[in-house]
Structure 1
Amino acid sequence: MTDDAYLFLVDEPTETPGVPPSAVGALACMETPAVRAWLNAQHASEASPRLRLAPPEHTGAIPEEAERLPVPLTDEELSRLRHRTAPEALAEVEAELLAYRDCAHGRDEMLARALAAGLPPHRVAELTGEDMAVVRAAARR
């Protein structure tokens, strides 16, 4: 397995691994000279229905004869790509985990601010649903 995602071209865009790059959103790699030159050499554009993008763990499923180019993705871009290529049931769970990550970001700082403002630890635990041990640990930070 490689650490790179791959752009690749297929003859028949149905039933192929990966997704159209546009399905992942803006990708910095699409503006690089290497990708632009590769697309130009392949007589393809970013909008081509033949153009696909696969995450590193799916590169083994790329057809052997497919023209391909390794592309670096940021962690966020790779996360979006993996989300788009996951089976629907997994994609739903991933979306929930991403929402949890977003709402839990800064949790300890928020707990510490609430305690510093004078809310008693038991009330902070009650309002947040956090365990008292978590609330007490935030007080020590």
Structure 2
Amino acid sequence: MTDDAYLFLVDDPATPLGASATAVGDLACLETPAVRAWLDAHGVTAASPDVRLLPPEETGAIPHGAEKLPVPLSDEELNQLRHALTPGALARVEEELLAYRDCAGERDALLARAVAAGIPPHRIVELTGEDARTVASAAARGQGGPSDPGPRQQ
């Protein structure tokens, strides 16, 4: 594996490999004399759909014999490249994180409802991945345990 990302040329712009340089955004390397000379030598511009970019961890996917050039990217530029490559995957993970946040806020109430419904604590642990002590604590609170004051006396 290399520490550099690679610019490379594809024969067919419909090839899903890599991200187009324009999809990644402004990259400092595109203004360097080496990259300009490489683009000129191949008769393309950075905006060409034939010019693609892959991060260091994926450069092994570049087809054998493809014209390629190593380019150093800043950490921010690498993040931009990775986001350009997987916008759908990132969106799905962000949705999962939001769903987790939403359900995590209701965790104790859900655990207490599960115990009240008669699901054995060991099964709740298996299904949720929660610690057995957390499930027991939520069950105790749901049954008027020490952290639940229970019904008020009048």
- Normalising by structure 1, report the TM-score: 0.62
What residue number does 2:3 align with?
3
What residue number does 1:13 align with?
13
Which of structure 1's runs of 4+ aligned residues deviate more than 4 A? 94-97
Q: Is the 8 A contact 1:84 1:91 kept in 2?
A: no
What residue number does 2:148 align with?
none
In the TM superposition, 1:61-140 aligns within 5 A as: 61-86=61-86, 88-93=88-93
Structure 1 regions of 5+ residues with no counterpart?
98-141
Deviation at 1:84, TM superposition (A): 1.3
Of all paired residues, the percent bearing the same amino acid is 66
Deviation at 1:18, TM superposition (A): 0.7
Distance (whole Å) between structure 2 residues aligned to residue 70 and residue 94 of structure 1 = 31
Deviation at 1:93, TM superposition (A): 3.0
Q: Does 1:38 align with 2:65?
A: no
Tell me the number of residue pairs that the alignment of Structure 1 and Structure 2 aligns: 97
Q: Is the 8 A contact 1:55 1:82 kept in 2?
A: yes
Distance (whole Å) between structure 1 residues aligned to residue 52 and residue 68 of structure 2 = 9
Query: CA RMSD for the aligned pairs?
Result: 2.1
Q: Does 1:25 align with 2:25?
A: yes
Highest RCO, 1 vs 2 (Cα 8 Å, sep ≥ 6): 1
**Bigger CA radius of gyration:** 2
Q: Cα distance 1:20–1:95, how it changes in 2: closer, same or farther (>3 A)? A: farther
Q: Is the 8 A contact 1:8 1:66 kept in 2?
A: yes
- Normalising by structure 2, report the TM-score: 0.57
Q: Is the 8 A contact 1:9 1:68 kept in 2?
A: yes
